[in-house]
Amino acid sequence: MLFRSSGPLSLEQVLQIAELRSESIAIARTSIRKAEGEEVRARAGLFPQVTASASYDRSLASEYSGLFNDASTGSSSSTTASLPFGQSNVWRMSLSASQNLFDFGRIRAQRAQAAVAHTTADLALTGTRAQLLFEVTQAYYNAALSDRLVAIAEATVTQATATLHQAEAGFRAGTQPEFDVLRARMVQAGFNMRQLFWATGILGFLISSVANNLTTALIMGTVITTLGRHDRKFVALSCINVINAIN
């Protein structure tokens, strides 16, 4: 059974498709059918066994022809026609029947063994199906989460771009400082707090080579407080990092 849908598949449809196409499920079901066959074979020993056979032989030449000749007339006698052997056409039919009366519990043990094998195969199928459903469900929700994270990331980039345009427009109008534009550009470029931490330290080290320590500290302090105005921990650690970099 194939599922055709113009939209995304539901979890139930995905589970059905996975079960239909799973080689592990097919192998487990084959083991169940094999166990059922073993049960039938073990149970067959309780019933009478009947065997029938038939055969036909056509003799083109008999080794007994000419054995009984009439010595007085020199002609062959028709005595061989009444013999039970040496006939041109021979039909054979046989029929035999047997019934097992006592086997010291062998059939009962075989039936018990086949029943245990059937139960084991059923449990294996249940375990295989449960493992498959777990893995498919986990993969399904991971894919749904990834899709949702992509949508969130796209919305974040769109918001960061809009914030950058707003900051640039405010800077051109003289209502926002240049540091707001710098902060918006870094956010729009995808920098996280860890990357900003190391970036401010490297910038402080480079600026300190052309400016004194006080000037570098004031510049980088302004940049850090602008970038992390809502994260006091980031501001404190970044300022300490800049002091270590310029000394």
- The pLDDT of residue 104 is above 80: yes
Render pLDDT for 131-156 as a digit per residue (tens, 0 to 9): 999 999 999 999 989 989 888 888 88
Structural tokens at position 42: 């073990």
Length of the chain: 247
pLDDT, average across residues 84-94: 76
- The pLDDT of residue 228 is above 80: no
Looking at the DSSP assignment, which residues form a beta bridge with residue 55? 92
Cβ neighbors of 241 (< 8 A, separation 6 or more) are 197, 200, 201, 204
The whole-number pLDDT of residue 212 equals: 85
The whole-number pLDDT of residue 65 equals: 60
Structural tokens at position 31: 């083991």
pLDDT, average across residues 38-43: 90
SS3 103: coil
Looking at the DSSP assignment, which residues form a beta bridge with residue 108? none
DSSP line for 4-56: --SSPPPHHHHHHHHHHH-HHHHHHHHHHHHHHHHHHHHHHTTS-EEEEEEEE
CA distance 31 to 117: 9
The whole-number pLDDT of residue 73 equals: 47
